Structure 1
């Protein structure tokens, strides 16, 4: 027997991370994702976004300038 609303409640993984650019999610923090600190805020970028913007990342441009 289940409680009312127990089965329909959204299941969110508190350990999941979200790409700051495209919104892709992954469990935990993947070793291949890129981490950037912009304005004192830590931002994570997935593999695809990192590859597409590697020159801007290496040039230390904030992600809003990509």
Structure 2
């Protein structure tokens, strides 16, 4: 087994998935069109469809429980 700089062993690149906090849509990696916020110390991704639907609430920083 080959070792990479930093001590990590060579393993296949595993893609991470993110899930929309509103509708549950999942995507490989983090799409550039998705929104990300932190509420009560918890990071939340919101897909582009949900972000468009609730853009005014997002821009005014209302908690997602409100919208």
Same fold (TM > 0.5):
yes
Give the equivalent residue in structure 1 for 2:45. 44
Aligned length: 54
Runs of 4+ in 1 over 2 A off after TM superposition: none
Task: Provide the residue aligned with 2:62 in structure 1.
Answer: 61
Q: Which residue of 2 aligns with 1:25?
A: 26
Question: TM-score if structure 1 supplies the norm length?
Answer: 0.78
Q: Label 1:14 to 1:61 Cα distance change in 2 as closer, same or farther (>3 A).
A: same
Q: Distance in 1 between matches of 2:64 and 2:37?
A: 9
Instruction: List alignment gaps of at least 5 residues for structure 2.
Output: 1-13
Partner of 1:35: helix, strand, or coil? strand
Aligned residue for 2:58, secondary structure, equals helix
Following the alignment from structure 2 to structure 1, what is the Cα–Cα distance between the partners of residues 63 and 56? 12
CA RMSD of the aligned region, Å? 1.2
